[in-house]
Amino acid sequence: MAGQIPQRFIDDLLARVDVVEVVGERVQLKKAGRNYSGLCPFHQEKTPSFTVSADKQFYHCFGCGAHGNALRFLMEYDKLRFPEAVEQLASRLGLEVPREGADDPRAQARERKRQEGVNLLELAASFYRERLRMPEGQSAREYLARRGLSEEVQRDFGIGYAPNDWEALKRHLSAREIVEAVQVEYGLLVQREDSGRTYDRFRDRVMFPIRDVRGRTIAFGGRVLGDAKPKYLNSPETPVFHKGRELYGLFEARQANPRLERVIIVEGYMDVVALAQYGIRYAVATLGTSTSEEHLSRLFRMVNEVVFCFDGDKAGRQAASRALETVLPQMIDGREARFLFLPEGEDPDTLVRREGREAFEDRITCASPLSEFLFDQAARGRDLARVEERERFASQVLKAASRLPRGMLQTVLLGELARRTGVDQSRFEALLARDEQAVPAESSEEPATASAGPVTVRRAPSAREASLGLVARVLQLLVHEPTLVERLPTEDDWCPEGDGDAGLCRELIRLLRAGRYRSPQVVLAHFQGSAQGERLALLAQREMLIPREARAQELEGLVDYLVRHRKRQSPQEEFETLLARERGGERLPMEARRRLQELLVELKR
């Protein structure tokens, strides 16, 4: 159904569903006073720190910080997208999910057209499966037998056969009153430009249906049996199929294990199916394209570990380099990416048949972590005993680190770079901070699925935005709830100068105190047209996952941490920080100026 889910329906749904019941179906809970407690499902722990409140209708883990309502729990635990989680909650209550614009005739027409296309492709998939069992499918059955595919695997993946006939599918669908124009639109027929004649796109091929996450056929891939070219043929882009979004085998992997923890990305259909035959049911394949950010974003919503599988030759290394560039912005804390290179001349299909499941899974387990592959790639062909080569090595690693979201992986990576080059880690951090300040804030107009905070969400956050620094989290809290400024200390010297958001944070605090703003929209309007406004808009567009009643405590906790961190600074570092603020044209508060004088006296001793 087209259109967004109305916010009023979401609010009503959350008011009617019981979060204790939803969580309790997946986590063993015990009554603890007014609340319920158990072991957190989002991190390993031996002592329960996970609490579910029936009164407040949200959960919180004091160990890892996970928190949210019943909807957020389903999204995180069951790895569901927002609309899917809403659908699941609604089904518990026997409700149909409404959509804004559902009464729009154009929206209804688009939805009917999409559904007709899916039904058409399901008819085609059924036709191909039937032909595989008929006498004309003998050669295809022999081919599948030679490849060692059991009937069970063929059934699970819906494998079929396209007859060696120019119009077999065309006749089958036309007899069901499906016009040729629609068959062409959904990639089943090809139409010649010169004569206008139409004929089946897939002929004499083993057919692999490509399914979406709900199991609906949206496209096909065909493997030729004879000598025709190309060896593999995919459906073209259609109203329901986009190569850069879909992954072959993802539906089947989730069917085999709804609690997927790892996914391996391979090259082709037969690699996915052959691995499944040997019990490795977590392989997927891109559809004739490189792995895209959208592919990875989808996978990381379901699993925490992605393994890229490549040939060990030059082309494989080049493909791995492209994959590295794509995955870097996705690597928020808790995610893992690995790179597996196969022996030259082997692919997953041939290797798993020769070595067996255990040996192949050992290779997956021992695949190079992202950091190791990054350092090896940067060092390849360089003599690191030479200063100039070491500089190029460091520059390449630093450039990659700049594409990582702020977080522990970036910090550890810079630490390892410092160890290998002998350059202090703080120098690399300073270079990264300088480069980030020089890059203008990103802007985008992608529509989001639904709003979830006091500010209207215009788009989903990019992977680069997915991990926020401490000061950015303070900014996000303040822009969503300006009245929280009353919870901040009188002076703003807790705000660290080295953070790229520090200047904006101090300016926002001064504005909120002077104007007593309560509306996020008014705050954003004040900064409109500036780089600072773009930064605040990005933070406002992010979903605020912290329950409203816990936000003040969250803000105070962040500020307390920053105060303690400042106190751990050496006098020289604190002096340089305050001096940099003053030289930058900022008028320091009285307490900060007094502290600057004290440090000056202390350092002269």
Q: What are the pLDDT digits (tens) for 143-183? A: 999 999 999 999 999 999 999 999 999 999 999 989 999 99
Distance in angstroms between the alpha carbons of the first and the last residue of the chain:
74
What is the predicted pLDDT for the residue at 458?
Answer: 32
Task: Give the C-alpha separation, 31 to 400, whole Å.
Answer: 48
- The predicted-structure confidence for 210-237, as pLDDT tens digits, reads as follows 998 778 899 999 999 977 788 899 999 9
pLDDT band at 497 (very low <50, low <70, confident <90, very high): low
> Quick one: average pLDDT of 381-392?
89
Out of 233-247, 435-449, 522-536, 591-605, the most confident range is: 233-247
Task: Give the C-alpha separation, 299 to 305, whole Å.
Answer: 9
Write the CA distances from 27 to 61, 73, 84, 530, integer angstroms.
13, 11, 20, 47
Do 536 and 472 meet the contact criterion of CB atoms below 8 Å apart? no
Strands 67-68 and 58-61: antiparallel
Residue 285, amino acid? A
What is the predicted pLDDT for the residue at 327?
Answer: 94
What is the predicted pLDDT for the residue at 110?
Answer: 62
Do 113 and 239 meet the contact criterion of CB atoms below 8 Å apart? yes
> Quick one: average pLDDT of 61-73?
87
Q: What does the CA dihedral 116, 120, 301, 545 come to, rounded to 10 degrees?
A: 10
Task: Give the C-alpha separation, 495 to 124, whole Å.
Answer: 62
Query: What are the two backbone dihedrals, phi and then psi, of residue 325, each rounded to the nearest 5 degrees?
Result: -60, -35
For 345-362, b/e burial (b = at least 16 CB within 10 A) is eebbbebbeeeeeeebbe
Question: Closest Cα partner for 147 from 217, 209, 225, 220?
Answer: 225
Supply the mean pLDDT for the chain.
82
- 197: alpha, beta or left, given left = phi > 0 and alpha = psi -120 to 50? beta
Task: Give the C-alpha separation, 225 to 162, whole Å.
Answer: 10
Question: Closest Cα partner for 475 from 527, 438, 529?
Answer: 527
Write the CA distances from 32 to 29, 68, 150, 416, integer angstroms.
9, 19, 51, 44
- The predicted-structure confidence for 578-593, as pLDDT tens digits, reads as follows 666 666 666 666 666 7
- What percent of the chain is modeled with pLDDT above 90? 35
Task: Give the C-alpha separation, 555 to 351, whole Å.
Answer: 53
What is the predicted pLDDT for the residue at 439?
Answer: 44
Whether a cis peptide bond, with omega within 30° of 0, leads into 230 is yes
Residue 602 above 90 pLDDT? no
Strands 305-311 and 336-342: parallel
**Residue 23: both structure tokens together:** 């969580």
> Quick one: average pLDDT of 67-96?
83
pLDDT band at 401 (very low <50, low <70, confident <90, very high): very high
Give Cβ neighbours of residue 395 (< 8 Å, ≥ 6 apart). Answer: none
DSSP codes, 209-234: EEE-TTS-EEEEEEEESSS-S-SEEE
Task: Give the C-alpha separation, 416 to 407, whole Å.
Answer: 15
pLDDT band at 485 (very low <50, low <70, confident <90, very high): confident
What is the predicted pLDDT for the residue at 441?
Answer: 38
Residue 376, exposed/middle/buried by CB under 10 A (0-12, 13-18, 19+)?
exposed
**Which residues sit opposite 310 in a β-bridge?**
341
**Residue 51: both structure tokens together:** 């609490």
Residue 429, amino acid? E
> Quick one: average pLDDT of 90-107?
69
Question: Closest Cα partner for 384 from 410, 423, 331, 414?
Answer: 423
Residue with tokens 């993802």: 250
Residue 376 above 80 pLDDT? yes
Question: Closest Cα partner for 498 from 595, 396, 584?
Answer: 584
- 443: alpha, beta or left, given left = phi > 0 and alpha = psi -120 to 50? beta
Q: Which of 212-221, 401-410, 565-574 has the lowest mean pLDDT?
A: 565-574
- Map residue 457 onto helix, strand or coil: coil
Q: Say which residue, 574 or 336, is predicted with more confidence.
A: 336
Strands 262-266 and 305-311: parallel
Residue 118, exposed/middle/buried by CB under 10 A (0-12, 13-18, 19+)?
middle
Query: What are the two backbone dihedrals, phi and then psi, of residue 305, each rounded to the nearest 5 degrees?
Result: -130, 130
Query: What are the two backbone dihedrals, phi and then psi, of residue 566, each rounded to the nearest 5 degrees?
Result: -65, -40
Give Cβ neighbours of residue 3 (< 8 Å, ≥ 6 apart). Answer: 99, 100, 101, 102, 104, 107
Residue 443 above 50 pLDDT? no
CA 11, chain centre distance (Å):
26
Residue 425, amino acid? Q
What is the predicted pLDDT for the residue at 235?
Answer: 94
Do 415 and 425 meet the contact criterion of CB atoms below 8 Å apart? yes
Task: Give the C-alpha separation, 94 to 135, whole Å.
Answer: 46
Query: At what angle are helices 408-421 and 370-379 packed, to 10 degrees?
Result: 40
Reduce the secondary structure of 275-339 to three states and give it as a string: HHHCCCCCEEECCCCCCCHHHHHHHHCCCCEEEEEEECCHHHHHHHHHHHHHHHHHCCCCCEEEE
Question: Closest Cα partner for 291 from 309, 303, 274?
Answer: 309
Degrees, nearest 5: CA angle 111-116-117? 100
Query: What are the two backbone dihedrals, phi and then psi, of residue 82, each rounded to the nearest 5 degrees?
Result: -55, -50
Residue 448 above 70 pLDDT? no
Residue 414 above 80 pLDDT? yes
